Chain A
């Protein structure tokens, strides 16, 4: 049995037992040691007492006989100490015994004892002596003695018995202990084993200990504890799962700062918003990670006041990002004190829209104002007398008509645009041949192109598929795009071709050899009043809305565009229209 508990219990019992037995043994031994000499003395004295009644002469004569009946050595001594007779020795050879302590004691006290070495017999002896008296006068002494050897034998005998009893008790205890202690501790071992499993494994089951005593109670409590513990773990895990899923799936960016203002945790939302703008952020401070002074200032403010701080920041680098940032200290969460939570909302799109709207209002006002200013100016000049100069008046009226016409076109375009945007222009996509649409558009453009000396080439593939598009819509789109091509091409040609892609679209490609568009301007094409070359476009009579209309018309018909351009070489515009698919019956 290796159990330490077993050893402990066993050792405790064994020590207790040994101490008890040892004390007991010692006591008994001591008692025996005391008792046996006393008993011998008692025997000797009672035996000796009868000797007093016998006259001295008879004692001397019958010494051997008396000694035998007393089972002791008998010595008869006269009043002067001379040995008269001895049962074991020749009395004549013995010296005077008067000085012996037992005789002295007997003379004064009536009885004397002594344990000492007998010179005569050369062994330890116990002596008891009595005075022999005749009418109160001591005439001699009788002395009985037994060898102590006998005593020792008796004591040893009793020691041996004590030892045997002790040994029997110890052995039977050991056997019983080996039998009972394991029974006592086996439930404890089971419990140890079980708690070990509960600590390391997920589901340890429950503990089976059948016992009505405290150990049974303990087992029951352990069962409850483990059950409780498992429940708690499950609850914690569930809660954590909820929090984690919220944390990871939130669109808002969350960054948690520890008490040293270092970034401790970032959610995927934050990574999405920030993109690959920054490398690894965890462990860095805010200024180190973001390089943004406003954010750092806001954080400092929050640290200082302990109040939530709201701040809008703009992050440069690549595309500018506008973020609403809420910085708040984390409160009342154990183990989280002095931490700070930073929440980012991406408002870039919102800011962009706001800017587009503001730009639009400014642009519209500007676009309307320019021709109006000209008209008002010329009208005033006419009013001030120029009307009388026929030639000048005619020229002025032409200019006024031109500007009025431009105003009209502008308002028309704006109306079209707003109607398309509001969905008021009803588009009816239907089966149509793209060639026909191009022909229609060209009848409007051809004249302009011919005047500039531009060749318009068409390059249609065989088996040109039909597309799904609104008849008027597609013509308007083509007119606008072709018009731009003509406007911005000084010399060269315009090529129209078509190609179907694998996604179910037909791309009508219009390539020119014109001024081209810088790459960074391409994404802004289609913004209202956005002009690549502001001065020239207006000179050429554009309203700045043409491509905007195209873009919206395309969107309304599930179409889209792609623009490739290299400045100075030309522009390629691809207009994608969905192919007409025969409905599956």
Chain B
């Protein structure tokens, strides 16, 4: 597929590439959804938030289509070894991306709620968090496409940054809420947004885990990511 050994059937080759292309496409879509949802949050923009919610339909349709395609490939081509790992990985990545899309919808819905009240505070860490998670999605898909283990491991390490930011936001909001009970509602909503971003980053890490599995055949889902200097030894 990507390791330079061409398949005998050009048709099969194209079908695999199509799955890959669709996943990239979906990755771009969910990344956009996150961008839009965060922009909606920053600009207090109703339309943008509603657009994110409405656009999820497309992601859901793509999810079904990709899964269909993968299952058909499994049934008709009876793939082995690498191709089998590629297709199972694709199915899992597809699931992760669909969930990320749902998270963006959650953020969109929370934004609509937040807009009903005055802004609690300027957002600093949330955009940063969104940038990191978007980067993680992009890089995990890149790693999938180029079978880049190093990049996959970087994504797996980045998850911690997002976790830390989430903690930080949580603590900060706590001080607001303790000071003034009227901020609790807004605080909780912002917390949910932050939590959604954190879960998006978990999904991105999940994609990276699957990439490691696809390339090495080793499951690393429940292991700590390797430190940078150890990657080459692997």
A: residues with CB less than 8 A from B are 260, 285, 287-288, 291-293, 296
Which 6 residue pairs across A and B have the least CB separation, nearest first? A287-B24, A287-B21, A293-B28, A285-B21, A287-B25, A291-B28
* A296, B25: Cβ atoms closer than 8 Å: yes
Within the complex, which residue of B10, B29, B138, B145 is in contact with A288, where a contact is CB–CB below 8 Å? B145
Give A117 to B20 CA distance when docked, in angstroms.
Answer: 104
**Nearest opposing residue in chain B for A316, CB measure:** B35
Whether B221 sits at the interface, judged by CB under 8 Å, is no
CA distance A285 to B21 in the complex (A): 7
* Chain A residues in 8 Å Cβ range of B27: 291
Contacting pair B17 A260 (CB below 8 A): yes
**B14 at interface, CB cutoff 8 A:** yes
Q: Within the assembled complex, what's the spacing in Å between the Cα atoms of A428 and B10?
A: 72
Interchain CB contact under 8 A, B32 and A293:
yes
Contact with A along B56-89 (1 / 0, CB 8 A): 0000000000000000000000000000000000
CA distance A579 to B17 in the complex (A): 62
In residues 9-35 of chain B, which contact A (Cβ within 8 Å)?
10, 14, 17, 20-21, 24-25, 27-29, 32
Closest residue of chain A to B145 (Cβ to Cβ) is: A288
Kindly report which residue of chain A lies nearest to residue B31, judged by CB atoms.
Answer: A291
Using A285-B20, A288-B21, A293-B25 as known contacts, list a sample of 13 further A-B pairs with CB atoms less than 8 Å apart, ordered by residue number in A.
A260-B14, A285-B17, A287-B21, A287-B28, A288-B24, A288-B145, A291-B24, A291-B27, A291-B28, A291-B138, A293-B28, A293-B29, A296-B25
Contacts of A291 in B (CB 8 A): 24, 27-28, 138
Interface residues in B, total, Cβ within 8 A? 13
Give the docked Cα–Cα distance between A288 and B147 (Å): 13
B116 to chain A, nearest CB (A): 27
- Complex alpha-carbon distance, A30 and B21, angstroms: 90
Expressed in whole angstroms, the Cα–Cα distance for A304 and B111 within the complex equals 38
Contact A288 B20 (CB under 8 A): yes
Residue on B with the closest CB to A293? B28
B214 shortest CB reach to chain A, Å: 16
A293-B14 Cα distance, complex, nearest whole Å: 19
Chain A nearest Cβ from B115, distance in angstroms: 23
Residue of A nearest to B29 (CB): A293
Residues in chain B near residue A288, CB distance under 8 A = 20-21, 24, 145
Task: Kindly state the separation between the CA atoms of A292 and B24 in the bound complex, as whole angstroms.
Answer: 9
For A285, list chain B residues within 8 Å (CB): 17, 20-21
How far is it, in angstroms, between the C-alpha of A288 and the C-alpha of B17 when the chains are bound? 10
A291 to B28, CA, bound (A): 6
A285 to B19, CA, bound (A): 12
A292 CA to B17 CA, complexed, in Å? 17
Q: Report the bound CA distance from A288 to B27 in whole Å.
A: 11
Q: Which residues of B contact A260 (CB under 8 A)?
A: 10, 14, 17
**Cα-based distance from A296 to B21 in the complex (angstroms):** 10
25 sampled A-B residue pairs with Cβ under 8 A: A260-B10, A260-B14, A260-B17, A285-B17, A285-B20, A285-B21, A287-B21, A287-B24, A287-B25, A287-B28, A288-B20, A288-B21, A288-B24, A288-B145, A291-B24, A291-B27, A291-B28, A291-B138, A292-B28, A293-B25, A293-B28, A293-B29, A293-B32, A296-B21, A296-B25
C-alpha gap A287/B14 in the complex (Å): 14
Give the one of B10, B17, B27, B138 with max A CB within 10 A: B17
Q: How far is the CA of A296 from the CA of B24 in the complex (A)?
A: 11
Q: How far is the CB of A239 from chain B (nearest CB, A)?
A: 31
- For A292, give the chain B residue with the smallest CB separation: B28
Distance in Å: Cβ of B222 to nearest Cβ of chain A: 30
Interface-central residue, B17, B20, B28, by most chain A CB under 10 Å: B28
Render B115-159 as a binary contact track against A, CB cut-off 8 A, 1 for contact.
000000000000000000000001000000100000000000000
**Would you give the shortest CB distance from A323 to chain B, in whole angstroms?**
16
Measured CA separation A285–B20 after assembly (Å): 10
Q: Which residues of A contact B20 (CB under 8 A)?
A: 285, 288
Residue of A nearest to B24 (CB): A287
Closest residue to A317 on the B side, CB-wise? B138
- Of all chain A residues, which has the CB nearest B14? A260
Complex CA–CA separation, A585 to B154 (angstroms): 67
Closest chain-A Cβ to B12's Cβ sits at a distance in Å of 12
Complex CA gap A285/B145 in Å reads 11
Nearest residue in B to A291 (C-beta to C-beta)?
B28
Chain A residues within 8 Å of B145, by CB: 288
Q: Output the least CB separation between B210 and chain A (Å).
A: 18
CA distance A82 to B77 in the complex (A): 110
Q: Which chain A residues border B21 with CB–CB below 8 Å?
A: 285, 287-288, 296
- Which chain B residue has the least Cβ–Cβ distance from A260? B14
| A259–chain B nearest beta-carbon distance, Å | 10
B25 contacts which chain A residues (CB < 8 A)?
A: 287, 293, 296
User: Smallest distance from the beta carbon of A318 to chain B beta carbons, Å?
Assistant: 13
- The residue among B24, B27, B145 with the most chain A CB atoms within 10 A of its own CB is B24
A291–B31 Cα distance when bound, in Å, is 11
- B142 to chain A: closest residue by CB: A291
Report chain A residues within 8 Å CB of B28: 287, 291-293
Beta-carbon nearest neighbor of A284 in chain B: B145
**CA–CA, A287 and B145, complex, Å:** 11
**CA–CA, A526 and B72, complex, Å:** 59
Chain A nearest CB: distance from B77 CB in Å? 18
Closest chain-B Cβ to A156's Cβ sits at a distance in Å of 76
Q: Give the residue name and chain of the A residue nearest to B20 (CB).
A: A288
Contacts of A293 in B (CB 8 A): 25, 28-29, 32
Nearest CB of A to B41, in Å: 19
Residues of B contacting A292 with CB < 8 Å? Answer: 28
A285 and B14 alpha carbons, distance in the complex (Å) = 11
CA–CA, A288 and B28, complex, Å: 10
Q: What is the CB-to-nearest-CB distance from A69 to chain B, in angstroms, rounded to a whole number?
A: 102
B142 → A minimal CB distance (Å)? 9
CA distance A466 to B20 in the complex (A): 66
Which residues in A have their C-beta under 8 angstroms from that of B10? 260
Q: What is the distance, in angstroms, from A574's C-beta to the closest C-beta of chain B?
A: 33
Q: How far is the CA of A293 from the CA of B23 in the complex (A)?
A: 12
Chain B nearest CB from A277 CB (Å) reads: 13
A296 surroundings in chain B (CB, below 8 A): 21, 25
In whole Å, how far is B167's beta carbon from the nearest beta carbon of chain A?
27
**Complex: how many Å from CA A391 to CA B20?**
77
Chain A residue nearest to B25 (CB atoms) is A287
Taking CB atoms, residues of chain A closer than 8 Å to B29 are: 293
A291 CA to B25 CA, complexed, in Å: 7
Minimum Cβ distance to chain B for residue A451 (Å): 33
Q: Bound complex: CA of A47 vs CA of B21, how far in Å?
A: 116
Q: Residues of A contacting B138 with CB < 8 Å? A: 291
CB distance from A287 to the nearest CB of B (A): 5
B132 to chain A, nearest CB (A): 15
